Amino acid sequence: MSTKKQTTLRVGETHVQAVRDTFPGVVLDATWQAEDQVTITIPVDMLPDVVEFLYYGRGGWLPNMVANDERPLRGCYVLYYLLSMEESDPGFVVVRAEVDPNTMEYPSVTPRVPACVWSEREAFDMFGLRAVGLPDERRLVLPDDWLEDLYPLRKDSMDYRRRPAPVTDVEDYTFLYEGNAEETTQVPMGPLHITSDEPGHFRLFVEGEDIIDADYRLFYVHRGMEKVAESRLSYDAVTFLADRICGICGNAHSVAYAEAVENAQGIEVPLRGQYIRSILLEVERLHSHLLNLGLVCHYCGFDTGFQHFFRVREKTMDLAVLLTGARKTYGLNLIGGVRRDILDEQKLATIKYVRELRNEVEALVDMLVSTANFESRTAGIGRLDPAVARDYSPVGPAVRGSGIARDVRFDHPFDGYKFLVGMSARSHDGCDVQSRTLVRVEEFMDSLDMIEQLLDGAPEGPIQTENWQYTPHKYALGYTEAPRGEDMHWAMVGDNQKCYRWRAKAATYSNWPILRYMLRGNTVADAAIIVGSMDPCYSCTDRVTVVDVNKKSSTVLTKDQLEGYCRRRTHSPLAGKGW
Amino acid sequence: MTIIVAILQAVLLVTLAPLFSGITRKIRAKMHSRKGTSIMQDYYDLAKLWRRCEVKEGGSGIISRLTPPIFLGSFILVAAGLPLVMQACPVPFLGDIITVLYLMALPRFMFALGSIDSAGSYTAIGGVRELLVGVLVEPSLILVLFVAAIAAGSTNLGIMANAVGTLQAYPFVAIVVAGVACAMACYIEMGKLPFDLAEAEQEIQEGPLAAYSGPSLAMIKLGVSVKQLVVASLFVAIFLPFGAATTAAPLDLLVGLVSFLFKLLIVMLIASVIENSVMRARYKYLGRYTWFVVGIASLSLVFLVIGI
DSSP-derived secondary structure for A432-470: SHHHHHHHHHHHHHHHHHHHHHHHHHPPSS-SB------
Whether B283 sits inside 8 A of A209 (CB atoms) is: yes
User: Tell me, what's the pLDDT at A234?
Assistant: 92
Per-residue confidence at B85, pLDDT binned at 50, 70, 90? confident
User: Tell me, what's the pLDDT at A110?
Assistant: 94
* Model pLDDT for residues B196-241, shown as the tens digit of each residue: 766 666 666 667 777 788 899 999 999 999 999 999 999 998 888 8
Whether B27 shows a pLDDT value over 70: the answer reads yes
Residues of B with CB under 8 A from a CB of A: 28, 31-34, 121-122, 125, 193-194, 196, 200-206, 276-285
> pLDDT > 90: what percent of chain B?
30
How high is the mean pLDDT of chain A? 86
| Strand (E) or helix (H) holding A475 | strand A475-482
User: Tell me, what's the pLDDT at B2?
Assistant: 77
Query: Comparing C-alpha atoms, which of A525, B266, A294 is closest to residue B258?
Result: B266
The domain limits of chain A are 13-172, 229-381+391-503, 554-579
* Model pLDDT for residues A68-96, shown as the tens digit of each residue: 999 999 999 999 999 999 988 899 999 99
- Which of A190-199, A229-238, A295-304, B66-75 is least confident? A190-199
Q: What is the 3-state secondary structure (H, E, C) of A92-141?
A: EEEEEEEECCCCCEEECCCCCCHHHHHHHHHHHHHHCCEEECCCCCCCCC
* Model pLDDT for residues A454-504, shown as the tens digit of each residue: 999 999 999 999 888 899 999 999 999 999 999 999 999 999 999 999 999
pTM: 0.83
- Give the CATH fold of the A13-172 domain: Beta Polymerase; domain 2 (3.30.460)
* Model pLDDT for residues B120-172, shown as the tens digit of each residue: 777 877 888 888 888 888 889 999 999 989 888 888 888 888 888 888 777 88
Whether B281 sits inside 8 A of A373 (CB atoms) is: yes
For the stretch A439-442, contacts whose Cβ atoms lie closer than 8 Å and that sit 24 or more positions apart, written own/partner, are A439/A397, A439/A400, A439/A401, A440/A289, A440/A292, A440/A293, A440/A397, A440/A535, A441/A289, A441/A293, A441/A361, A441/A365
User: Tell me, what's the pLDDT at A238?
Assistant: 92
User: Tell me, what's the pLDDT at A143?
Assistant: 86
CA gap A464, B193 in Å, rounded: 54
Whether A373 sits inside 8 A of B193 (CB atoms) is: no
CA gap A126, A133 in Å, rounded: 18
User: Tell me, what's the ipTM?
Assistant: 0.79
- Which of A17-21, A451-455, B108-112 is least confident? B108-112
Burial B12-32 (b: 16+ CB within 10 A, else e): bbbebbbebbbbbbbbbeebb
User: Tell me, what's the pLDDT at B195?
Assistant: 78
User: Tell me, what's the pLDDT at A543?
Assistant: 40
Per-residue confidence at A304, pLDDT binned at 50, 70, 90? confident
Q: Which residue in chain B is spatially nearest to A206 when comparing CA positions?
A: B121
Which residues in chain B have their CB less than 8 angstroms from residue A188's CB?
A: 121
pLDDT higher for A61 or A185?
A61
pLDDT higher for A525 or A68?
A68
Checking DSSP bridges between strand A76-85 and strand A105-107, what pairing results, if any?
Answer: unpaired
Q: Are A276 and A341 in contact (CB under 8 A)?
A: yes
User: Tell me, what's the pLDDT at A554?
Assistant: 35
CA gap B183, B242 in Å, rounded: 16
- CATH number for the region A229-381+391-503 comes to 1.10.645.10
Query: Comparing C-alpha atoms, which of A398, A416, A415 is closest to residue A407?
Result: A398
Q: Are B191 and B133 in contact (CB under 8 A)?
A: yes
* AA letter at A304: T
Spell out where A103-235 has E strands: 105-107, 130-132, 185-189, 201-207, 210-217
Q: Burial of A452 by CB count in 10 Å (0-12 exposed, 13-18 middle, 19+ buried)?
A: middle
Mean pLDDT along residues B255-262: 90
Burial A525-538 (b: 16+ CB within 10 A, else e): bbbbbbbbbbbbbb
CA gap A196, A4 in Å, rounded: 52
Query: Comparing C-alpha atoms, which of B71, B68, B90, B69 is closest to residue B81?
Result: B90
CA gap A99, A77 in Å, rounded: 5
* Model pLDDT for residues A100-123, shown as the tens digit of each residue: 999 999 999 999 999 999 999 999
CA gap B194, B186 in Å, rounded: 13
CA gap B267, B271 in Å, rounded: 6
Query: Comparing C-alpha atoms, which of A227, A234, A222 is closest to residue A261?
Result: A234
User: Tell me, what's the pLDDT at B170?
Assistant: 78
User: Tell me, what's the pLDDT at A3?
Assistant: 45
Q: Burial of A345 by CB count in 10 Å (0-12 exposed, 13-18 middle, 19+ buried)?
A: exposed
Which residues in chain A have their CB less than 8 angstroms from residue B121's CB?
A: 185-188
Whether B32 sits inside 8 A of A523 (CB atoms) is: no
